[in-house]
Protein backbone atom coordinates (compact mmCIF):
# COMPACT_ATOMS: atom_id res chain seq x y z
CA UNK A 1 0.00 0.00 0.00
CA UNK A 2 2.73 2.39 1.02
CA UNK A 3 4.44 1.85 -2.33
CA UNK A 4 1.36 3.06 -4.11
CA UNK A 5 1.35 6.37 -2.37
CA UNK A 6 2.96 8.34 -5.16
CA UNK A 7 0.58 6.90 -7.72
CA UNK A 8 -2.39 7.58 -5.47
CA UNK A 9 -1.27 11.15 -5.16
CA UNK A 10 -0.79 11.55 -8.90
CA UNK A 11 -4.31 10.25 -9.49
CA UNK A 12 -5.70 12.46 -6.77
CA UNK A 13 -4.03 15.50 -8.30
CA UNK A 14 -5.38 14.89 -11.79
CA UNK A 15 -7.15 18.07 -12.86
CA UNK A 16 -9.05 19.28 -15.90
CA UNK A 17 -9.09 22.89 -17.15
CA UNK A 18 -12.69 23.85 -17.83
CA UNK A 19 -14.01 26.80 -19.79
CA UNK A 20 -17.49 27.73 -18.55
CA UNK A 21 -19.79 29.93 -20.55
CA UNK A 22 -23.35 30.98 -19.95
CA UNK A 23 -26.00 29.62 -22.29
CA UNK A 24 -26.85 32.31 -24.85
CA UNK A 25 -30.61 32.05 -24.28
CA UNK A 26 -30.35 32.97 -20.61
CA UNK A 27 -28.97 36.44 -20.88
CA UNK A 28 -29.14 39.61 -22.94
CA UNK A 29 -25.63 40.69 -22.13
CA UNK A 30 -22.40 39.05 -23.17
CA UNK A 31 -21.07 37.65 -19.88
CA UNK A 32 -17.43 37.09 -19.21
CA UNK A 33 -16.40 33.49 -19.50
CA UNK A 34 -15.05 31.63 -16.52
CA UNK A 35 -12.08 29.31 -16.30
CA UNK A 36 -11.39 26.80 -13.57
CA UNK A 37 -9.00 23.91 -12.96
CA UNK A 38 -11.06 21.18 -11.33
CA UNK A 39 -10.13 17.80 -9.80
CA UNK A 40 -11.05 14.70 -11.80
CA UNK A 41 -12.01 12.84 -8.63
CA UNK A 42 -14.50 15.42 -7.41
CA UNK A 43 -18.10 16.22 -8.37
CA UNK A 44 -19.33 19.31 -10.17
CA UNK A 45 -21.54 20.69 -7.35
CA UNK A 46 -18.50 20.64 -5.03
CA UNK A 47 -16.35 22.83 -7.24
CA UNK A 48 -18.71 25.20 -9.04
CA UNK A 49 -19.87 27.62 -6.32
CA UNK A 50 -17.69 30.30 -7.90
CA UNK A 51 -19.07 29.56 -11.35
CA UNK A 52 -22.62 29.99 -10.10
CA UNK A 53 -21.79 33.24 -8.34
CA UNK A 54 -20.03 34.57 -11.41
CA UNK A 55 -22.86 33.93 -13.87
CA UNK A 56 -25.74 34.86 -11.57
CA UNK A 57 -24.70 38.49 -12.07
CA UNK A 58 -25.70 38.18 -15.70
CA UNK A 59 -29.06 36.43 -15.51
CA UNK A 60 -32.47 37.96 -14.92
CA UNK A 61 -34.12 38.14 -11.50
CA UNK A 62 -36.56 35.34 -12.12
CA UNK A 63 -33.72 32.92 -12.83
CA UNK A 64 -31.75 33.75 -9.67
CA UNK A 65 -33.21 30.77 -7.78
CA UNK A 66 -33.00 28.39 -10.71
CA UNK A 67 -30.92 25.29 -10.15
CA UNK A 68 -27.69 25.53 -12.08
CA UNK A 69 -26.95 22.70 -14.50
CA UNK A 70 -24.42 22.25 -17.26
CA UNK A 71 -23.96 20.59 -20.59
CA UNK A 72 -21.04 19.56 -22.72
CA UNK A 73 -21.81 19.78 -26.42
CA UNK A 74 -25.54 19.60 -25.69
CA UNK A 75 -25.30 16.61 -23.35
CA UNK A 76 -26.41 17.43 -19.78
CA UNK A 77 -23.71 16.67 -17.20
CA UNK A 78 -24.72 14.19 -14.50
CA UNK A 79 -23.39 15.69 -11.29
CA UNK A 80 -23.40 12.31 -9.59
CA UNK A 81 -20.71 10.95 -11.93
CA UNK A 82 -17.15 11.91 -10.97
CA UNK A 83 -15.87 14.79 -13.11
CA UNK A 84 -13.13 12.64 -14.65
CA UNK A 85 -15.66 10.01 -15.71
CA UNK A 86 -17.78 12.67 -17.43
CA UNK A 87 -14.78 14.10 -19.22
CA UNK A 88 -13.58 10.71 -20.44
CA UNK A 89 -17.07 9.76 -21.58
CA UNK A 90 -17.95 12.97 -23.35
CA UNK A 91 -14.64 14.30 -24.57
CA UNK A 92 -12.29 11.35 -24.53
CA UNK A 93 -8.56 11.27 -24.86
CA UNK A 94 -8.23 13.20 -28.09
CA UNK A 95 -10.23 16.19 -26.93
CA UNK A 96 -8.60 19.56 -26.91
CA UNK A 97 -8.40 21.45 -23.65
CA UNK A 98 -9.93 23.36 -22.02
CA UNK A 99 -13.17 21.44 -21.80
CA UNK A 100 -16.05 23.66 -22.99
CA UNK A 101 -19.02 23.54 -20.66
CA UNK A 102 -22.23 25.56 -20.99
CA UNK A 103 -24.02 26.78 -17.87
CA UNK A 104 -27.81 27.01 -17.50
CA UNK A 105 -30.21 28.34 -14.88
CA UNK A 106 -33.47 27.41 -16.58
CA UNK A 107 -35.11 24.48 -18.40
CA UNK A 108 -33.69 21.91 -15.99
CA UNK A 109 -33.78 18.56 -17.82
CA UNK A 110 -35.63 16.55 -15.17
CA UNK A 111 -35.86 13.52 -17.42
CA UNK A 112 -32.07 13.21 -17.58
CA UNK A 113 -30.59 14.77 -14.46
CA UNK A 114 -31.17 14.21 -10.77
CA UNK A 115 -31.82 17.44 -8.91
CA UNK A 116 -29.08 18.60 -6.61
CA UNK A 117 -30.49 21.32 -4.36
CA UNK A 118 -27.65 21.15 -1.82
CA UNK A 119 -24.32 19.53 -0.97
CA UNK A 120 -25.94 17.12 1.49
CA UNK A 121 -27.35 15.29 -1.53
CA UNK A 122 -23.85 14.94 -2.93
CA UNK A 123 -22.57 13.74 0.43
CA UNK A 124 -25.32 11.10 0.68
CA UNK A 125 -24.51 9.92 -2.83
CA UNK A 126 -20.78 9.80 -2.16
CA UNK A 127 -21.14 7.93 1.14
CA UNK A 128 -23.52 5.49 -0.45
CA UNK A 129 -20.98 4.75 -3.18
CA UNK A 130 -18.29 4.18 -0.58
CA UNK A 131 -20.56 1.83 1.34
CA UNK A 132 -21.49 -0.08 -1.76
CA UNK A 133 -17.83 -0.51 -2.63
CA UNK A 134 -17.15 -1.80 0.87
CA UNK A 135 -20.04 -4.27 0.65
CA UNK A 136 -18.26 -5.72 -2.37
CA UNK A 137 -14.76 -5.59 -0.89
CA UNK A 138 -15.38 -6.56 2.74
CA UNK A 139 -19.10 -7.34 3.02
CA UNK A 140 -19.47 -3.82 4.35
CA UNK A 141 -17.63 -4.65 7.57
CA UNK A 142 -15.03 -1.90 7.39
CA UNK A 143 -17.30 1.00 6.58
CA UNK A 144 -19.88 -0.04 9.16
CA UNK A 145 -17.21 -0.32 11.86
CA UNK A 146 -16.13 3.25 11.22
CA UNK A 147 -17.28 6.12 13.34
CA UNK A 148 -19.22 9.11 12.12
CA UNK A 149 -16.08 11.21 12.40
CA UNK A 150 -14.25 8.86 10.01
CA UNK A 151 -17.05 9.24 7.48
CA UNK A 152 -16.85 13.01 7.91
CA UNK A 153 -13.12 12.92 7.40
CA UNK A 154 -13.51 11.08 4.08
CA UNK A 155 -16.13 13.52 2.91
CA UNK A 156 -14.26 16.63 4.04
CA UNK A 157 -11.06 15.27 2.54
CA UNK A 158 -12.82 15.13 -0.80
CA UNK A 159 -14.62 18.47 -0.46
CA UNK A 160 -11.50 20.33 0.62
CA UNK A 161 -9.17 18.44 -1.71
CA UNK A 162 -7.03 17.15 1.15
CA UNK A 163 -5.22 14.01 0.08
CA UNK A 164 -3.69 13.14 3.47
CA UNK A 165 -6.91 13.68 5.35
CA UNK A 166 -8.83 11.46 2.94
CA UNK A 167 -6.29 8.66 2.71
CA UNK A 168 -5.72 8.46 6.46
CA UNK A 169 -9.20 6.91 6.59
CA UNK A 170 -9.59 5.51 3.08
CA UNK A 171 -6.52 3.31 3.64
CA UNK A 172 -8.65 1.12 5.89
CA UNK A 173 -11.18 0.66 3.11
CA UNK A 174 -8.47 -0.38 0.68
CA UNK A 175 -6.81 -3.09 2.78
CA UNK A 176 -7.92 -6.69 3.23
CA UNK A 177 -9.45 -7.47 6.61
CA UNK A 178 -7.62 -9.99 8.84
CA UNK A 179 -9.41 -13.23 7.88
CA UNK A 180 -9.48 -12.33 4.21
CA UNK A 181 -6.69 -12.75 1.65
CA UNK A 182 -7.68 -9.83 -0.49
CA UNK A 183 -10.88 -8.15 -1.50
CA UNK A 184 -13.87 -10.45 -1.74
CA UNK A 185 -14.91 -8.69 -4.92
CA UNK A 186 -13.51 -5.70 -6.75
CA UNK A 187 -15.95 -2.82 -7.14
CA UNK A 188 -16.06 -2.03 -10.83
CA UNK A 189 -18.46 -0.04 -12.92
CA UNK A 190 -18.25 -0.12 -16.70
CA UNK A 191 -19.64 3.02 -18.33
CA UNK A 192 -20.94 3.04 -21.89
CA UNK A 193 -20.75 6.07 -24.12
CA UNK A 194 -24.47 6.72 -23.67
CA UNK A 195 -23.94 7.21 -19.94
CA UNK A 196 -25.45 3.90 -18.84
CA UNK A 197 -23.30 1.56 -16.82
CA UNK A 198 -22.89 -2.10 -16.06
CA UNK A 199 -21.94 -3.70 -12.80
CA UNK A 200 -21.03 -7.31 -12.15
CA UNK A 201 -19.48 -9.30 -9.37
CA UNK A 202 -15.76 -9.35 -10.08
CA UNK A 203 -13.66 -11.68 -7.96
CA UNK A 204 -9.90 -11.03 -7.82
CA UNK A 205 -9.13 -14.69 -8.60
CA UNK A 206 -10.73 -17.69 -10.24
CA UNK A 207 -12.25 -20.61 -8.35
CA UNK A 208 -8.96 -22.48 -8.78
CA UNK A 209 -7.06 -19.63 -7.15
CA UNK A 210 -5.56 -18.12 -10.26
CA UNK A 211 -5.31 -14.33 -10.25
CA UNK A 212 -7.59 -12.76 -12.82
CA UNK A 213 -6.19 -10.25 -15.28
CA UNK A 214 -7.44 -6.93 -16.53
CA UNK A 215 -8.17 -8.69 -19.82
CA UNK A 216 -10.51 -11.11 -18.01
CA UNK A 217 -12.35 -8.12 -16.62
CA UNK A 218 -12.67 -6.51 -20.02
CA UNK A 219 -13.98 -9.78 -21.45
CA UNK A 220 -16.55 -9.97 -18.64
CA UNK A 221 -17.90 -6.59 -19.61
CA UNK A 222 -17.67 -6.91 -23.37
CA UNK A 223 -20.88 -7.43 -25.26
CA UNK A 224 -20.90 -10.17 -27.91
CA UNK A 225 -21.13 -7.50 -30.60
CA UNK A 226 -18.00 -5.78 -29.41
CA UNK A 227 -16.15 -9.06 -29.08
CA UNK A 228 -17.08 -9.93 -32.63
CA UNK A 229 -16.00 -6.53 -33.83
CA UNK A 230 -12.63 -6.90 -32.21
CA UNK A 231 -11.63 -10.17 -33.85
CA UNK B 1 -42.38 -41.25 -1.63
CA UNK B 2 -39.47 -38.90 -1.42
CA UNK B 3 -39.81 -36.30 1.23
CA UNK B 4 -41.67 -33.32 0.05
CA UNK B 5 -39.88 -30.08 0.57
CA UNK B 6 -42.41 -27.34 0.64
CA UNK B 7 -40.91 -24.27 -0.90
CA UNK B 8 -42.62 -20.98 -1.23
CA UNK B 9 -43.00 -19.47 -4.62
CA UNK B 10 -42.47 -22.82 -6.34
CA UNK B 11 -44.43 -21.57 -9.29
CA UNK B 12 -41.57 -19.21 -9.96
CA UNK B 13 -38.88 -21.83 -10.35
CA UNK B 14 -38.80 -21.32 -14.09
CA UNK B 15 -38.36 -17.63 -13.68
CA UNK B 16 -35.55 -18.23 -11.24
CA UNK B 17 -33.71 -20.46 -13.65
CA UNK B 18 -34.25 -17.92 -16.32
CA UNK B 19 -32.92 -15.14 -14.13
CA UNK B 20 -29.89 -17.20 -13.18
CA UNK B 21 -29.19 -17.84 -16.82
CA UNK B 22 -29.70 -14.32 -18.00
CA UNK B 23 -25.99 -13.70 -18.16
CA UNK B 24 -25.18 -16.93 -19.96
CA UNK B 25 -27.91 -16.29 -22.44
CA UNK B 26 -26.84 -12.81 -23.27
CA UNK B 27 -23.28 -13.92 -23.78
CA UNK B 28 -24.09 -17.00 -25.80
CA UNK B 29 -26.70 -15.65 -28.15
CA UNK B 30 -25.94 -12.73 -30.34
CA UNK B 31 -29.58 -12.33 -31.14
CA UNK B 32 -31.80 -9.32 -30.93
CA UNK B 33 -33.80 -11.49 -28.53
CA UNK B 34 -31.65 -10.40 -25.67
CA UNK B 35 -32.98 -6.89 -26.08
CA UNK B 36 -36.35 -8.18 -24.96
CA UNK B 37 -37.30 -7.16 -21.47
CA UNK B 38 -36.10 -9.83 -19.09
CA UNK B 39 -37.76 -9.81 -15.71
CA UNK B 40 -36.13 -9.96 -12.32
CA UNK B 41 -37.93 -10.80 -9.09
CA UNK B 42 -37.59 -8.19 -6.42
CA UNK B 43 -38.79 -8.40 -2.82
CA UNK B 44 -39.72 -5.20 -1.04
CA UNK B 45 -39.44 -4.98 2.74
CA UNK B 46 -40.65 -2.05 4.81
CA UNK B 47 -38.31 -0.52 7.36
CA UNK B 48 -38.97 1.88 10.20
CA UNK B 49 -42.31 3.60 9.99
CA UNK B 50 -42.90 2.83 6.31
CA UNK B 51 -46.21 1.03 5.64
CA UNK B 52 -46.00 -2.61 4.61
CA UNK B 53 -46.87 -3.61 1.07
CA UNK B 54 -49.58 -6.25 0.70
CA UNK B 55 -47.63 -7.79 -2.12
CA UNK B 56 -43.93 -7.93 -1.43
CA UNK B 57 -42.70 -9.80 -4.46
CA UNK B 58 -42.72 -8.18 -7.86
CA UNK B 59 -41.36 -9.09 -11.21
CA UNK B 60 -39.75 -6.12 -12.91
CA UNK B 61 -38.03 -5.35 -16.17
CA UNK B 62 -34.32 -5.73 -15.50
CA UNK B 63 -33.50 -2.45 -17.21
CA UNK B 64 -35.73 -0.45 -14.84
CA UNK B 65 -33.87 2.13 -12.76
CA UNK B 66 -34.20 2.44 -9.00
CA UNK B 67 -36.05 5.74 -9.48
CA UNK B 68 -38.90 3.82 -11.15
CA UNK B 69 -39.17 1.44 -8.19
CA UNK B 70 -39.22 4.37 -5.78
CA UNK B 71 -41.94 6.03 -7.84
CA UNK B 72 -43.91 2.80 -7.92
CA UNK B 73 -43.82 2.23 -4.15
CA UNK B 74 -44.57 5.89 -3.55
CA UNK B 75 -47.69 5.62 -5.67
CA UNK B 76 -48.71 2.21 -4.36
CA UNK B 77 -48.52 3.39 -0.75
CA UNK B 78 -50.38 6.57 -1.71
CA UNK B 79 -47.76 8.74 -0.02
CA UNK B 80 -48.09 12.48 -0.18
CA UNK B 81 -46.02 14.09 -2.91
CA UNK B 82 -43.69 15.71 -0.39
CA UNK B 83 -43.07 12.44 1.48
CA UNK B 84 -39.74 10.91 0.61
CA UNK B 85 -38.83 7.30 0.12
CA UNK B 86 -35.41 5.66 0.39
CA UNK B 87 -34.41 2.27 -0.99
CA UNK B 88 -31.59 0.20 0.41
CA UNK B 89 -29.56 -2.83 -0.62
CA UNK B 90 -28.22 -5.24 2.03
CA UNK B 91 -29.60 -2.79 4.59
CA UNK B 92 -26.43 -0.85 3.95
CA UNK B 93 -26.43 1.56 1.06
CA UNK B 94 -28.89 3.46 -1.10
CA UNK B 95 -28.29 2.80 -4.80
CA UNK B 96 -28.25 5.78 -7.14
CA UNK B 97 -31.64 6.60 -8.75
CA UNK B 98 -30.26 5.76 -12.20
CA UNK B 99 -28.88 2.38 -11.15
CA UNK B 100 -30.71 -0.40 -12.98
CA UNK B 101 -32.17 -3.53 -11.37
CA UNK B 102 -30.02 -5.82 -13.51
CA UNK B 103 -26.77 -4.40 -12.12
CA UNK B 104 -28.00 -4.70 -8.56
CA UNK B 105 -29.24 -8.24 -9.11
CA UNK B 106 -25.90 -9.25 -10.62
CA UNK B 107 -24.06 -8.04 -7.54
CA UNK B 108 -26.50 -8.44 -4.68
CA UNK B 109 -29.15 -10.91 -5.83
CA UNK B 110 -29.68 -14.01 -3.70
CA UNK B 111 -31.63 -17.15 -4.58
CA UNK B 112 -32.96 -15.64 -7.76
CA UNK B 113 -34.27 -12.52 -6.06
CA UNK B 114 -33.14 -9.02 -5.29
CA UNK B 115 -34.13 -7.89 -1.81
CA UNK B 116 -34.74 -4.20 -1.26
CA UNK B 117 -35.65 -2.36 1.91
CA UNK B 118 -37.59 0.85 1.77
CA UNK B 119 -37.94 3.56 4.38
CA UNK B 120 -39.55 6.96 4.68
CA UNK B 121 -36.52 8.45 6.36
CA UNK B 122 -32.84 7.75 5.83
CA UNK B 123 -32.39 4.41 7.54
CA UNK B 124 -28.81 3.50 6.87
CA UNK B 125 -27.60 6.96 5.95
pLDDT tens-digit map of A122-157: 999 999 999 999 999 999 999 999 999 999 999 999
- Domain segments of chain B as ranges: 39-119
Q: Which pLDDT score, from 0 to 100, does residue B16 have?
A: 45
- Yes or no: say if A90 and A100 are a contact pair by the CB < 8 Å rule: no
A227 pLDDT exceeds 60? Answer: no
List CB contacts (< 8 A) between B114 and chain A. none
**CATH 3.30.70.20 holds for B39-119:** no
List CB contacts (< 8 A) between B108 and chain A. 135
* Residue A201, min C-alpha distance to chain B (Å): 5
Question: Which CATH number is correct for A119-173, 2.40.50.700, 3.40.30.10, 1.10.3720.10, 1.10.246.190?
Answer: 1.10.246.190
User: Nearest chain B Cα to A219, which residue?
Assistant: B27
Q: Which pLDDT score, from 0 to 100, does residue A94 have?
A: 75
Q: How confident is the model at residue A224 (pLDDT cuts 50, 70, 90)?
A: low
- Yes or no: say if A205 and A212 are a contact pair by the CB < 8 Å rule: yes
* Residue B23, min C-alpha distance to chain A (Å): 10
B1 pLDDT exceeds 90? Answer: no
Percentage, residues of chain A above pLDDT 70: 95
Mean pLDDT over all residues of chain B? 79
A229 pLDDT exceeds 60? Answer: no
CA atoms within 13 A on the CB side of A1: 10
B61 pLDDT exceeds 70? Answer: yes
- Domain segments of chain A as ranges: 1-104, 119-173, 189-222
pLDDT in tens, B22-42: 444 444 344 445 556 789 999
Report CA Rg, chain B: 16
**pTM for this prediction:** 0.84
pLDDT in tens, B88-102: 999 999 999 999 999
Q: Which residues of B touch A (CB under 8 A)?
A: 26-27, 29-30, 89-90, 92-100, 103-104, 106-108, 122, 124-125
Q: Which pLDDT score, from 0 to 100, does residue B18 have?
A: 43
Q: Which pLDDT score, from 0 to 100, does residue A31 have?
A: 87
Mean pLDDT over all residues of chain A? 91
B7 pLDDT exceeds 90? Answer: no
The architecture in CATH of the region A1-104 reads Roll (3.10)
List phi, psi (to 5°) of A39: -70, 135
A131 contacts B30? CB cut-off 8 A: no
A183 pLDDT exceeds 80? Answer: yes
pLDDT in tens, A24-60: 988 888 889 999 999 999 999 999 999 999 999 999 8
Amino acid sequence: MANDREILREIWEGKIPVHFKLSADETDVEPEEYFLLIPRLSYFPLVTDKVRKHFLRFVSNELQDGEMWMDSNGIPLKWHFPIGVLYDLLVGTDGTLPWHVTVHFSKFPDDILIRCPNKEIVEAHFMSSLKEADVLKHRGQVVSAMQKKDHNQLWLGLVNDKFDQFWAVNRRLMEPIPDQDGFKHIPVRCYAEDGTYQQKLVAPSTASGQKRLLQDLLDDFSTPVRKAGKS
Amino acid sequence: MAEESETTGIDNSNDKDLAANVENLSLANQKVEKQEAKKIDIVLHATGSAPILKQKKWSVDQEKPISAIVKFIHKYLKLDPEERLFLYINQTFAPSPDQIIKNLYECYGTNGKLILHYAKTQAWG
